[in-house]
Amino acid sequence: MNNPLINYLLHLADTTLILSHRNSEWCGHGPILEQDIALTNISLDLLGQARLFYQYAAQLINESKKAEGVKAPSPQGERVGDEVNEDTLAYLRTERQFKNLLLAEQPNSDWGQTILRQYLYSQFQQLLFQQLQHHNDEHIAAIATKSLKETNYHVRWSSEWVIRLGDGTAESKQRMLHAINELWCYTGEMFIAADYELHLNIDFNDINNRWTEKVNTVFAEAALILPSGGGGAVFMQTGGKTGTHTEHLGYILADLQYLQRAYPNSQW
């Protein structure tokens, strides 16, 4: 499927699905019951966003197949003659077909790394949705507008934790510095447009500049320093948007997709 809009919808859906799954691994294991519940709710928000993007992508894929009279299977997770839906897109595609950001699939490690991963992505997502709510595709604009309300909370919650941990004890600060070293190299991919994003009227330069400014503000309050002073010396890992992933995604999908693959077409 070479439709740029469909590929972009899959990118958005895949990223939120994988990050949702990562966060859900904390359910019942959070350091404080209230924050365990908060992160679980964020997981559900991200899962809901993924569903909306998958549903729209499935609609466009089915319309395209019908219009073109496609008889052969396409690389979107469906069998010959089947209509695509949100479940087939989530459960029947392989890791090379997933287009999520590499940042989303990184391990939880400890609470600090989970918090930082969520903040870095939520801050990007907030700025992205602020643009997409004015997109000329009314469906994307509606999803962005609805999701922005949730994302505003995600930014506030995660940034407060970054500040609390960064400007906390010696141990919490050290853990945050370690998290920065582990995750920073995956942030550049957010602002590098894949081929399918080139003609969607997304100003990644503006998002990058505003994201950097906001992250710098939070890090300054947390007494944290960006790698190399926030310059371009850190090599940025890319490939997730086009299906080249770290070893972590395969393990996530093995867990996420197990039931559907073990019992195909089950309904309950």
In this structure, which amino acid lies at residue 215?
Answer: V
Q: Are 239 and 247 in contact (CB under 8 A)?
A: no
In the chain, the number of structural domains is 1
C-alpha separations of 103 from 71, 118, 185, 191, 227 in Å: 36, 9, 9, 12, 16
Quote the pLDDT of residue 80: 43
pLDDT digits (tens, 9 = 90+) for 191-241: 999 999 999 999 999 999 999 999 999 999 999 988 864 445 688 999 999
Residue 207 lies in a domain: yes
Residue 27 lies in a domain: yes
Q: Show the domain range for 65.
A: 4-262
Model pTM greater than 0.85?
Answer: yes
pLDDT digits (tens, 9 = 90+) for 81-126: 578 999 999 999 999 999 999 999 999 999 999 999 999 999 999 9
Residue 65 lies in a domain: yes
Q: Are 62 and 84 in contact (CB under 8 A)?
A: yes
> How many of the other CB atoms lie within 10 Å of CB of 256?
18
Task: Tell me the CATH number at 135.
Answer: 1.20.1260.10
Please tell me the total number of residues recorded for the chain in this structure.
268
Instruction: Look at residue 132 and tell me whether its pLDDT is greater than 90.
Output: yes
Residue 267 lies in a domain: no
Closest CA to 103 of 42, 220, 22: 22
Determine the angle formed by the axes of helices 248-256 and 4-24, rounding to 10 degrees: 80
Residue 232 lies in a domain: yes
> How many of the other CB atoms lie within 10 Å of CB of 173?
17
Q: Are 39 and 114 in contact (CB under 8 A)?
A: yes
